[in-house]
Structure 1
Amino acid sequence: MSANPDVSVVIPTLNRPELAARAVRSALAQTHDDLEVVVVVDGPDPGTREHLRTIGDERVRVLELPERGKAPNARNQGARAARGKWTALLDDDDEWLPAKIETQLALAATATRAAPVVATRMISRTPRADTIMPRRLPAPGEPLSEYFTVRKGLFYGDGFIQTSTIMAPTELLRRVPFTVGLRRQQELDWALRVVREPDVELLYADDALVLWHQDEDRDRISLQNPWEEQLEWLRANRALFTERAYAAYTMSVLSSMAAPTRSGRVFRELLAEARTHGRPGTIDYVTFLQIWSLPPNVRHRLRDAILGR
Structure 2
Amino acid sequence: MFSAPDVSVVIPTRNRPDLAVRAVRSALAQTHEALEVVVVVDGPDPDTRANLAAVGDERLRVIELARPGKAPNARNVGAGNARGRWTALLDDDDEWLPTKLERQLELAAAANRPSPVVASRMISRTPRADTVLPRRLPAPGEPLSEYFTVRRGLFHGDGFIQTSTILAPTELLRRVPFTVGLRRQQELDWALRAVRHDDVELLYADEALVLWHQDEDRDRISLANPWQDQLAWLRGNRDLFTPRAYAAFTMSVLSSMAAPTRSTRVFRELLAEARTHGRPGALDYLTFVQIWTLPPGLRAQVRDLVMGRPVDAR
TM-score (norm. length: structure 2)? 0.96
Rounded Cα–Cα distance in structure 2 between residues aligned with 1:178 and 1:294: 34
Q: Which residue of 1 aligns with 2:87?
A: 87
Q: 1:181 aligned to 2:198? A: no
Cα shift at 1:156: 3.4
Q: Which residue of 1 aligns with 2:151?
A: 151
Structure 1 residues 255-275: Cα deviation after superposition (integer angstroms, max 9, x where no partner): 011011111110111011001
Which sits farther off after the overlay, 286-295 or 229-238?
286-295
Rounded Cα–Cα distance in structure 2 between residues aligned with 1:157 and 1:3: 42
The alignment yields a C-alpha RMSD, in angstroms, of 1.1
Specify the SS of the correspondent of 1:216.
coil
Specify the SS of the correspondent of 1:106.
helix
Structure 2 counterparts to residues 193-232 of structure 1, below 5 A? 193-232=193-232
Pair 1:127–1:297, CA change in 2 (3 A): farther
Letter in 1 for 2:119: A
Q: Which residue of 2 aligns with 1:54?
A: 54
Specify the SS of the correspondent of 1:209.
strand
Q: Which residue of 2 aligns with 1:243?
A: 243
Q: Which runs of 4+ in 1 moved over 3 A?
A: none
- Give the share of equivalent positions with the same residue, in percent: 80
Rounded Cα–Cα distance in structure 1 between residues aligned with 2:221 and 2:286: 27
Cα shift at 1:139: 0.6
TM-score (norm. length: structure 1)? 0.98
Rounded Cα–Cα distance in structure 1 between residues aligned with 2:171 and 2:48: 28
Cα shift at 1:55: 1.1
Which consecutive residues of structure 1, in runs of 5 or more, have no partner in the other structure? none
Rounded Cα–Cα distance in structure 2 between residues aligned with 1:40 and 1:165: 18
Q: Which residue of 2 aligns with 1:39?
A: 39
Q: Which residue of 1 aligns with 2:70?
A: 70
Structure 1 residues 158-194: Cα deviation after superposition (integer angstroms, max 9, x where no partner): 0000000000000000000000000000000000000
On the 8 A contact 1:251/1:287 being kept in 2, the answer is yes
Cα shift at 1:290: 1.4
Letter in 1 for 2:154: L
Q: Which residue of 1 aligns with 2:163?
A: 163
Which sits farther off after the overlay, 124-133 or 35-44?
124-133
Pair 1:260–1:78, CA change in 2 (3 A): same
On the 8 A contact 1:131/1:308 being kept in 2, the answer is no
On the 8 A contact 2:145/2:241 being kept in 1, the answer is yes
Structure 1 residues 131-151: Cα deviation after superposition (integer angstroms, max 9, x where no partner): 111101111110000000001
On the 8 A contact 1:123/1:130 being kept in 2, the answer is yes
Q: Which residue of 2 aligns with 1:131?
A: 131
Rounded Cα–Cα distance in structure 2 between residues aligned with 1:295 and 1:178: 34
Q: How many residues align?
A: 309
Structure 2 counterparts to residues 82-121 of structure 1, below 5 A? 82-121=82-121
On the 8 A contact 2:3/2:34 being kept in 1, the answer is no
On the 8 A contact 1:129/1:308 being kept in 2, the answer is no
Letter in 2 for 1:170: T
Which consecutive residues of structure 2, in runs of 5 or more, have no partner in the other structure? 310-314
